[in-house]
Amino acid sequence: MVDEEIIELFFERSEQAISELDTKYGRVFHKTSYNILKDELDAAECVNDAYLGTWNAIPPTKPNSLLAFVCQIVRNVSVKRYYMKKAIKRNSTYDVAMEEIDACLSSASTVEDEVETRELARIIEGFLDTLSSENRVIFLQRYWFSDTYSDIAKKVGISEKSVSVRLSRIRKKMREYLVEREVLV
């Protein structure tokens, strides 16, 4: 079933929308949540919570990309659960990925209001447009989906070391890009 038909089922308030969504993208949602939480049961619960959030959001929202829309909800629910359950403990994969990217985004001044956050998102999107397609996939797999270096290497067909080196170069390039645009001082 195509995304537009699934969205129509949501607008008709048909429960089949959830099962079609799960059939089409359930594995992607579960993997995204699991990469953050490292717990099968928590990941399954977060995906179910995301389905409820999707049910409540559509309608009135009519997303352009159903996968991206629901993935955002899954990620938000999972990150919220992660911080709730792991406030003291360290989840190495997710923490390490966030620490890597945080070094590029940290600055003396913090992004405090929604307008500045949207501007930063726009600038980062502009940066992603400067990357090759393969580097963009590597960046998003690591920092959006929290995939490990070995998972990324398998998907892209390069060595883990190459993934590590590319991510290091991308972070350096991103930092320079942000400095040029006066986001970082």
- Tens-digit pLDDT profile for residues 140-181: 899 888 889 999 999 999 999 999 999 999 999 999 998 888
The half-sphere exposure of 41 on its side-chain side, counting CA atoms within 13 A, is 1
What's the full length of the chain, in residues? 185
What is the value of pTM for the model shown?
Answer: 0.63
- Tens-digit pLDDT profile for residues 54-106: 999 998 889 999 999 999 999 999 998 888 876 655 555 666 676 677 656 55
Q: Which domains does the chain have, with CATH numbers?
A: 3-85 (1.10.1740.10), 92-180 (1.10.10.10)
CA 157, 161, 165, 167 dihedral sign is positive
